[in-house]
Amino acid sequence: MRSKGKKTSLKIKDNLNWLVSKKIGVFYNLTRTVIRRLPQKGKITVKEGDVTESSAIIGLCHVSPGFRVFNLSEILNIPPEKIPSCLLKSSGSKVFKGDVIAEDKKLFGIISRQFIAPADGVFEVMDQSKGQMMIRFMPVSFKLPAGVYGEVVKVVPDQEVHIRTKVDLIRGVLGSGVEREGILKVVTSNKETISIIGLDKSLSGSIIAGGSMMTKEVIQKSLALGVRGILSGGINIRDYKSLVSSLNPLEDVGLSLLATEGYGSSEMPGEIFELLRKNDNCFAIISPQEKELIIPSLKSFTKTAIKEKREKNELCYLEKGMVVRLLTFPYLGREGMVLELSKSPTTFPSGIEAFSALIEIGKGMQVLIPIRNLEVVVNYRQTHLKADISMSSLRN
């Protein structure tokens, strides 16, 4: 009997159709190269081989806040042809916040309308026939902090610095937007939906995290507050589509989004939430295209102490009893336990033939899913979810 069992095991292992990837949500003490970029070309103040501290300034530049167009004809309530006689500043001249740029006096100067510079900049006439004027805001100095402890391994002159460092990493399932950075702020527990109550201007420039789901209202308020990113267990698919008009992860709504579990409400795994909680108020980088949140180490860096350690995309053979995440609609992001594995290809309603697995996704609900649309979940939830589903199966 023992010999027969071994043969069966070998037969299963030889079947590459049952090979799937492991989903590992948290990685610790990885070696990563973090790229720090200046928003405009400027001066890099470090060189290859330098060791940086997180607060060290590694680059300097001047950033233009842009420009703003004004219609003086409407502001002063006068026809465009009268504007030249009302200008107190010439085109191309510097203006400072509070300066009167144009003034129209009526009733012998008793009543007047003024156009006052809202900020420092350069005043320019765009289209006098329409009364359009522009202020180009004055450039402001920008200092680029290293943000991490590490070793400079590459410098792109005038533009960016590559720093090798140690990080903890959270791997998500869904991401949207561009890479952003900010101070990590945990705003709720891992079980509750993030609420707009409690979101205020103190979160400006931060990456907020926590909760089982982010909603349209939370995303919109976060945008208004200047939040840079949101990390949550799930995201409402209808809200997401109404914001970005598609499911294209390259679309950017003005802040970066990352869901650890998928679409819909899904409790954030305790191991992930515990890492977030321990790093509350720390610097972090959210990278939706890579589906990850990077938390740089707070420990001082030495060249001799660092050893290469990178995350691996692990594969394993699917077996009965394993907890998996479903990667296909309409169950995207849901988790369940493997009950049966097909020994031959299954023909699905779409006409596709593929090896399949029978998955129980809670409360006795069973679905047949192509194995290639599954991934094995590897974290503390595996044993808890397996126990919950097993009890459900016994009741039924």
Which residue ranges does the chain devote to CATH 3.50.30? 173-290
Neighbours of 196 (CB within 10 A): 14
Q: Tokens for 369?
A: 């899913």
Predicted pLDDT at 218:
92
Give the whole-angstrom CA distance, residue 211 versus residue 217.
14
- Which of these ranges, 5-9, 35-39, 201-205, has the smallest mean pLDDT? 5-9
* Summary mean pLDDT of the chain: 82
Q: Cα separations (Å) of 112 from 83, 103, 115, 356, 365? A: 14, 7, 10, 79, 74
Whether the CB-CB separation of 283 and 149 falls below 8 Å is answered with no
Could you say which architecture CATH assigns to the domain 318-395?
Answer: Roll (2.30)
pLDDT band (50, 70, 90) for residue 7:
very low
Q: Each residue of 241-276: pLDDT tens digit?
A: 766 655 555 667 788 999 988 778 888 888 899 999
* pTM of the shown model: 0.65
Residue 128 has pLDDT above 90, yes or no: no
Give the whole-angstrom CA distance, residue 101 versus residue 83.
11
Instruction: Enter the CATH code of domain 67-137.
Output: 2.40.50
Q: What is the mean pLDDT of residues 48-63?
A: 93
Give the whole-angstrom CA distance, residue 229 versus residue 14.
44
Using a pLDDT cut of 90, give the percent of the chain over it: 34
Of 1.10.3470, 3.50.30, 3.30.70, 3.55.50, the CATH number of 173-290 is 3.50.30
Q: Is 94 helix (H, G, I), strand (E, B) or coil?
A: strand
Which residue ranges does the chain devote to CATH 2.40.50? 67-137
Q: Each residue of 165-193: pLDDT tens digit?
A: 999 999 888 888 889 999 999 999 988 88
Where does residue 133 rank: exposed (0-12), middle (13-18), buried (19+ CB within 10 A)?
buried
